[in-house]
Amino acid sequence: MKNVRADHYIISKIVKNNSRILDIGCADGQLLHLLEKEKNVSGQGIEINHDKVETCLKKGLSVIEGDANKEIINYPKKSFDYVILSQTLQTVERPKWILNEILRIGKSAIISFPNFGHWLCRAQILFKGKMPVTNNLKLAWYDTQNIHLCTIRDFNNLICELNLRIDEKFGINKKKVLSLPFNLFSLNIPSSTSPCLSTSVPCP
């Protein structure tokens, strides 16, 4: 698929046909549009930015304007097959709480986030003494909405603490799929006999 963001491409491969989708922080609706086109999903989105909501509505997408930190509690249990946080987890007020909530309202969750432990981030801090600005962290620290940056290991530790299960994991950057490090995860709640899967991936 040309001009499709790498994490969107992977998500489109994970999601099954005719699924019910909630995309939290859906921005201008690129992922929702892709999934409706490629997978015939019944998609909904939540987006806090008014202009981006207007863009979604012009595309014919079902998107509400609102703060996911508040709106998500209004959805009943297992309303969706998949709840997606695509480059959104680091922007929410309470990441731990939101992970529990998305697996309350969804059968599965798909999450991608920028890896603050990547060597480019480390190098900028080490050699420049500045907060990183990269392809996935484009804004300066005083302009960014990213308030809870984490590393892959941080995320894995939280998943184990919450006793969630990682079904699939992928390494991605802006343009391609990588072998390492993993920073896109498909999550679920384990059965009583299924142990928590937590993979400690060395940060590059």
- Residue 70, domain CATH: 3.40.50.150
* Residue 202 counted as domain residue: no
Domain range holding 171? 6-115+148-188
Q: What is the pLDDT of residue 166?
A: 85
Count of structural domains, the chain: 1
* Residue 55 counted as domain residue: yes
* Residue 195 counted as domain residue: no
Cα angle vertex 155, ends 193, 80, to 5°?
Answer: 65
Verdict on whether the full-model pTM lies above 0.85: no
139 Cβ neighbours under 8 A, 6+ residues apart? 133, 145, 146
* Residue 204 counted as domain residue: no
Q: Could you give the CA distance from residue 89 to residue 95 in angstroms, rounded to a whole number? A: 6
Q: What is the pLDDT of residue 34?
A: 96
Is 67:25 a contact under the CB 8 Å cutoff? no
Q: What is the pLDDT of residue 203?
A: 31
Q: What is the pLDDT of residue 144?
A: 73
Q: What is the pLDDT of residue 174?
A: 56
Pick the closest to residue 95 from 195, 19, 15, 185 (CA basis).
Answer: 185
Q: What is the pLDDT of residue 21?
A: 96
Exposure string for 31-47, b = 16+ CB within 10 A, e = fewer: bbbbbbeebebebbbbb
Q: What is the pLDDT of residue 186?
A: 65
Q: What is the pLDDT of residue 35?
A: 97
Q: What is the pLDDT of residue 176?
A: 54
Pair type for strands 63-65 and 80-86: unpaired
Q: What is the pLDDT of residue 179?
A: 44
Tally of residues, the chain:
204
* Residue 122 counted as domain residue: no
Stretches where the chain sits below pLDDT 50 are 179-182, 191-204
* Residue 132 counted as domain residue: no
